[in-house]
Amino acid sequence: MEIQKIKKIATAFVIIFALTGLISLFFIAPIPYIRDQQWEAQPTALGLVEMIGYIVCSLSVYALLFLILKAVLSGPNDTLFKDNFAKPAFLGGKILFCGSLAFEILFIIALIVRIVSKNLFDGSNVYMAIVNGLGFELACVLIGLIGLAISVALVLFGKTLRKGEEYKEDSEAIV
């Protein structure tokens, strides 16, 4: 596939992903906080921790998207697409990895705390409590795991491309 085609596809993907992510950041992030507010008459610290965890992860994803978008939109006058993509992919992978890891830790702690304290099962409707409470945390853990997998793939991809760069830097070519 031509580099220009890859650029167009990557740009479209990044824009769509960023827009949907941005919408979800505003609508999904406050869910645990609002849920606790409704159930317990006042917002809990746990809900706040979950919200912060979601925002941390989302921001790390946006940092990555920004770097990729910058590389993709660098234009045909710049150096090769690979040259531009290698460093952002490597750096973005590392940022996403740290963000996802923080996200994972926060949500797993929240999940354990909720199970141990049994505050999910105090209500009369246990089924709804599981769906509303555990469902969100489990979904977030799953998203975090996907994020980790993507970040590892990006780091590996970035490393592969950087190998090419290193080879080129040692070039003694006469063109």
Partner 1 sequence: MICVHLDKMMRLRGVGLTELAEKVGITNANMSLLKNGKVKGIRFETLSKICEVLSCQPGDILQYMEA
* Residues forming the site for partner 1 (CB under 8 A): 3-4, 75-80, 83, 168-169, 171-175
Cα separation, 64 vs 70, in Å, equals 10
Residues 6+ apart with CB under 8 A from 6: 81
Q: With respect to partner 1, which residue has the nearer C-beta, 3 or 130? A: 3
CB of 74 to partner 1, least distance (A): 11
Largest CA distance in the chain: 79
Report, in Å, the least distance between residue 86 CB and partner 1: 12
Pick between residue 41 and residue 173 the one whose CB is nearest to partner 1. Answer: 173
Q: Dihedrals φ, ψ of 74, to 5°? A: -65, -15
The span from the CA of 90 to the CA of 156, in Å, is: 8
CB nearer to partner 1: pick between 5 and 118: 5
- Structure tokens given for 30: 């406050």
By beta-carbon proximity to partner 1, the closer residue of 77 and 124 is 77
Measured from the CB atom, the residue of 76 and 118 that comes closer to partner 1 is: 76
CB of 88 to partner 1, least distance (A): 17
Q: Which are the contacts of 52, defined by CB distance < 8 A and separation ≥ 6?
A: 106
User: Least distance to partner 1 from the beta carbon of 90, Å?
Assistant: 18
Task: In angstroms, give the least distance from the CB of 89 to partner 1.
Answer: 17
